[in-house]
Amino acid sequence: MKRSLIRADIAEAIYQKIGLSRNESADMVGTILDEISDSLEKGKNVKITSFGSFTVRNKRQRIGRNPKTGEEVPITPRRVLSFRPSHILRKKVNTSS
């Protein structure tokens, strides 16, 4: 099973490649992720060149169906987050094995 990339892995990569201390690297990762989260929470889109775009969409209330009973159930309005990879990232993912 493949291991997931975690926050500590990103901080370690910054430590190895840039030479900041481990604490400074972890703080930098935290600051970046906080900035992205805060912007999305405010409803702003986040675009990272050569990586992709995070967008927040508002979904209206609608009627859904309980798959077990077939009963109609109202689905409340909500905000959803989506990610659209850049063509560069998409190409990298599709060419690697």
Q: Is the pLDDT of residue 32 over 70?
A: yes
Average pLDDT, the chain: 94
Domain formed by 43-97, architecture:
Irregular (4.10)
Q: Is 25 exposed, middle or buried (0-12, 13-18, 19+ CB in 10 A)?
A: buried
Q: For residue 1, name the pLDDT band (cuts at 50, 70, 90).
A: confident
The DSSP call for residue 4 is P
Q: What percent of the chain is modeled with pLDDT above 70?
A: 99
- Residues forming beta bridges with residue 48, ordered by sequence position: 52
pLDDT in tens, 37-50: 999 999 999 999 99
Q: Is 11 exposed, middle or buried (0-12, 13-18, 19+ CB in 10 A)?
A: buried
Is pLDDT larger for residue 30 or for residue 97? 30
pTM summary value: 0.79
**Strand arrangement of the beta sheet that strand 52-59 belongs to:** 46-48, 52-59, 78-85
Going from N- to C-terminal start, the domains of the chain cover 1-42, 43-97
Q: How far apart are CA 81 and CA 73, in angstroms?
A: 23
